[in-house]
Structure 1
Amino acid sequence: MTTPDLFTPEVPAATTAAGPRPTVIGLDLSLTATGIAYMDGTTATIKTVQKDGDRRLLHIAEAIRWAAGEGQGPMGTDVRPTLAVLEDLPKHAMAAGITGMVHGVARAILLELGIPYATVVPATLKAYATGKGSGDKTPMAMAAYKRTGQEFADDNQCDAAWLRWAGLDWLGVPEFELPKTQRERLAKAKWPQAVAR
């Protein structure tokens, strides 16, 4: 069995008037509360408990596989997203080592399933959502409500939704309009070359 490469998998082209609309999942990865935005736009938080130790990784892995359409995922059997967008590890973060374990699991699953993924650092995601790359999570929730009328149970789901929206925007099928200066922030993310735009 060959391992798919991040930058070479065959993926469907972006939507045209005649083609299918690309699908994107957003993953705000954390060992305690992973936010997921599914292909259909719904969101969830996958919570784990510390007493389960490293078995938490298996719980998160199962949730990511389901979000990625393996088996009876949210879009039906074997419907895969065009792209997954992950919130990248912040540089010099104290929790980066712990979160790095979750990133390793998520990236391995996406590679195994042949799903290309992008990474967006938190400051870039905030700037895309709000126009400002610093501050707390409240402005992101307010921006989501302003653009979509959607409210989220927690900031993990909100971040995952913004990651999904960023991926759709990058693929040329934005869910809503944003100012050009905010959209230009997407150029700072790490996007896979193989996904047609």
Structure 2
Amino acid sequence: MGRVTATQITPAAGPALPPAAGGQPLIVGLDLSLTSTGIAGHGWTDHLRTKTRGDARLDYLLTGIATFIRAADLVVMEGPSYGHAALAGHEDLAGLRVLVRRYCWRHQIPYAVIPPSSLKMYATGRGNATKGEVRSAVADRYGIHTEGAARYDEADAYVAMAAGMDWAGHQLAAVPERNAKALAGCAWPEAVAA
């Protein structure tokens, strides 16, 4: 599959991702975390968990994430939560985001960033929804039931992916207009797969 440059397609151009073999582009959602990263694609969720620290942890997470995104047409990751009170690991989490962005850039994979409040708004219609409300919205709207310790991380990743599918013109399920307004608050790529 060929790639295009930023001067060829812009977000204002509307849906730009071509359908992949299954009729839809491969869009992967990520909820990046140092201890439990949620990952999702159309119809599935997964996660990476680790208790390692430092550079070994970043290497483990990036290597695992790369196995999910290496063939993606678009990666949509949840952005940072600047209001989050716990700053432990802040530098490493910011580093993980940069490593994932750098991986995407090196491999010419377009990526988008969805702020936490926009992710919650897209899922529930409220930018301050709880993790449980987001998880319930994913189950109700898409029929995806996330379970276990990473259930909230996987649900957030699924919403990121679903927002990306909507932006690309492949909406997975009807979303109220109020929810869809959240797409305007995201940083969408200027270059996408051809």
Specify if TM > 0.5: yes
Q: Which aligned runs of 4 or more in structure 1 are off by greater than 6 angstroms?
A: none
Distance in structure 2 (CA, Å) of the matches to 1:128 and 1:175: 13
- Identity level (%): 33
Partner residue, 1:141: 135
Once residues 64 and 86 of structure 1 are traced to their aligned partners in structure 2, the CA distance between those partners, rounded to angstroms, is 11
Question: What are structure 2's unaligned runs of at least 5 residues?
Answer: 10-14
Letter in 1 for 2:79: D
Contact 2:76 2:160 in 1 (8 A): yes
Alignment match of 2:74 (pick from 42, 58, 83): 83
Q: Which structure is richer in relative contact order (CA contacts within 8 A, separation 6 or more)?
A: 2
Which residue in 2 is equivalent to 1:73? none
1:30 is aligned, of 33, 55, 58, to: 33
Deviations 1:54-86 (A, max 9, x none): 2011111111211113xxxxxxxxxx2111001
Alpha-carbon distance in structure 1 between the residues aligned to 2:95 and 2:172: 31
In structure 2, the CA distance between the partners of 1:61 and 1:8, relative to structure 1 (3 Å rule), is farther
Q: Which amino acid aligns with 2:44?
A: T
Residue in structure 1 matched with residue 60 of structure 2 by the alignment: 59
Aligned Cα root-mean-square deviation (Å)? 2.8
**1:91-133 Cα shifts (integer Å, max 9, x gaps):** 2444343310110111111111110110011011001100001
Question: Where in structure 2 are the equivalents of 1:173-192 lying within 5 Å?
Answer: 173-192=170-189
TM-score, normalised to structure 2, is 0.82
Q: In structure 2, the residue corresponding to 1:54 is in which secondary structure?
A: helix
- TM-score scaled by length of structure 1: 0.81
